[in-house]
Amino acid sequence: MLSVFGVLLIEGSAPTERTETTIVTEGAAFARPEPVQDKQSPPKVESEMEVLHEKVTKQVIKDGHGQRPPKWSTCFLHYRAWAENSSHKFEDTWQEQKPLELVLGKEKKEMTGLAIGVSSMKSGERAVLHVGWELGYGEEGNFSFPNVPPMADLVYEVELIGFDEMKEGKARADMTVEERIEAADRRKIEGNALFKDDKLEEAMQQYEMAVAYMGDDFMFQLFGKYRDMALAVKNPCHLNMAACLIKLNRYEEAIGQCSIVLTEDENNVKALFRRGKARSELGQTDSAREDFQKARRLAPEDKAIARELRRLAEHDRALYQKQKEIYKGIFGPRPEPKPERRRWLALLWHWLIALLSGLFKFRREKSE
């Protein structure tokens, strides 16, 4: 039986030829990782400021690769947004784990400034955008976001994951169920090919794009064979992302990806194994053992699961030995029992003292 960890690309195949809907991510650095800086405040950037528009400027945090998205492209991006004067954050797609889909040329009015910035970016690029209120939420601000007052200039931290280059800018909402599943499957296949080449971050970029085609709102509407078709693409993408994240030592994120799959399929062996692996690396040995034991019940012949359980057992033994040595040092050596001979001498001595005391008392009473 093949190992659940070793088999990742079961549904993989060679990348398809470029079409109008092929994702453009040439050599792009993966855009998923959250920036290291304080996530509650706009990042401080020292790079040169580029003027994109009278009301839009950009400072690059991380360079991207490839070409920029042309008009009508469907862009996928993560961003955080603040009202500049108050530095109050009012939106964070990283935290929500939901990339934004933005069709250039068809964006909402309040996204005009953001769209101008995105159109100047390359796949994988991360930047800070300063947008004047005229190209944001305007004179009235935003009722849904109380932190966006009237005439509020905005600050965006944006990362362009990638884009679909489509001539007519067909958004996901305009696609049929079959078209969305097919588009997601293409991203998954491209991700598998990148994974085989050990391009882990680029592979994850493709998987995340695939998942973006099947958001919660979309999945909620599906049932029967269509839901099964969607899950047959969506779940492997989450599992493949988990495999990449484990290789990149990003264990918390890997746990999250596996947990998503387990909410749909609580007996998914790969999800249990990979979550157990990530938990084990984080030192969460009890939780890891639960995952591995459940996976072993479902796949008793899998050698990789047995190997991980042995590793945990060895870890427990080593930890016990270490704790034993520590406690021995704290409390010192156990007192050794006194020799039997000394104990009898002590008893004899106490008997003699008692005897003499009794004789002395007897004589004193007799003399009186």
| pLDDT tens profile 311-362 | 999 888 887 777 777 776 565 566 565 555 566 677 777 777 777 777 766 6
Structure tokens at 209: 């794009």
The fold of 41-170 is Chitinase A; domain 3 (3.10.50)
What single-letter amino acid sits at 163?
F
Which residues, other chains included, contact 138 with Cβ-Cβ below 8 Å and sequence gap of 6+? 109, 110, 150, 151
Which of the residue ranges 93-97, 244-248, 333-337 would you say has the lowest mean pLDDT? 333-337
Full 3-state SS string of the chain = CCCCCCCCCCCCCCCCCCCCCCEECCCCCCCCCCCCCCCCCCCCCCCCCEEEECCEEEEEEECCECCCCCCCCEEEEEEEEEECCCCEEEEEHHHHCCCEEEECCCCCHHHHHHHHHHHCCCECCEEEEEECHHHCCCCCCCCCCCCCCCCCCEEEEEEEEEEECCCCCCCHHHCCHHHHHHHHHHHHHHHHHHHHCCCHHHHHHHHHHHHHCCCHHHHHCCCCHHHHHHHHHHHHHHHHHHHHHHHCCCHHHHHHHHHHHHHHCCCCHHHHHHHHHHHHHCCCHHHHHHHHHHHHHHCCCCHHHHHHHHHHHHHHHHHHHHHHHHHHHHHCCCCCCCCHHHHHHHHHHHHHHHHHHHHHHHHHHHHC
pLDDT at 5: 39
State the pLDDT confidence band at 119, using cuts at 50, 70 and 90: very high
Enter the pTM of the model: 0.62
Q: What percent of the chain has pLDDT over 70?
A: 79
- 227 has pLDDT over 60: yes
| pLDDT top residue among 167 and 360 | 360
pLDDT, average across residues 253-271: 94
Q: Which residue has the higher pLDDT, 146 or 159?
A: 159
Q: With 90 as the cut, is the pLDDT of residue 232 above it?
A: yes
Q: Encoding tokens for residue 170?
A: 């067909």
More confident site: 327 or 31: 327
Alpha-carbon gap, residue 363 to 177, rounded angstroms: 115
Asked if 260 contacts 237 with a C-beta cutoff of 8 angstroms, the reply is: no
Note the pLDDT tens digit of each residue in 282-298: 999 999 999 999 999 99
Query: Would you give the distance in Å from CA 253 to the centre of its chain?
Result: 1
Paired residues of 58 in beta bridges: 50, 129
Whether 34 has a pLDDT exceeding 70, the answer reads: no
